[in-house]
Amino acid sequence: MNTVIAIVAGYLLGSISFSYLIAKKVAGIDIRHHGSGNAGATNTLRVLGKGPGILVLLLDALKGVSAVWFAHWISGGDHLITALAGAMAIIGHNWPVFFGFKGGKGVATTIGVIASLSFISFLWSALITVAVIYITRYVSLGSLVFLALIPIFMYVYGEPNAYIWMAAIVCILGFVRHSQNIVRLLQGTESKLGQSKK
């Protein structure tokens, strides 16, 4: 029963689309009809500016943190249940039940989940990701690097297998969600940080 509660709670937390809610409050728009059409922090930054973009990033990450901490508490620290709840928060962000199953790509929520499960793995992945974004100005490339590094660092630091497998699945899901970004990166048409979406 605790497993079901943790999974459902994780999904419902993830389904709260702060990008949509903040865009409606600040500009009266559906963020999914502007910019890249993605209900996430990067598109919010592009469409509404730094303040709303950073706020969405923090709140979306907090969804992941909350899902993991709640699952850890209700399950007595069970690694599998905690990992499943974190994964469901990311799935909820991508396909939110409250917003027609059209959400974001889950990177910010993944940040919250991973930082809660293995802070050292998150830290190294984040540092390298920031360097990649700083050098290339491609947020999408940085996101892909972050997703790929997480399971590697988790393995290196001997995290529980449930965490490593969850991170690997989330990585694959993230690459699928970024498929169009990957195509644009290969074509050289991907928008850079600070560049308006054409």
Query: Looking at the domain assignment, is residue 42 inside a domain?
Result: yes
pTM of the predicted protein model: 0.91
Q: Tell whether 88 is covered by a domain.
A: yes
Residue 195 resides in a domain? no
96 touches 102 (CB < 8 A): yes
pLDDT band for position 195 (cuts 50, 70, 90): low
Exposed (0-12), middle (13-18) or buried (19+): which is 79, by Cβ within 10 Å?
middle
Q: Which structural domain range is residue 116 located in?
A: 2-187
Domain membership flag for residue 196:
no
Number of domains making up the chain: 1
* Mean pLDDT score, 9-38: 95
Is residue 198 very low, low, confident or very high in pLDDT (cuts 50, 70, 90)? Answer: very low
Asked if residue 94 is part of any domain, the answer here is yes
135 occurs within a structural domain: yes
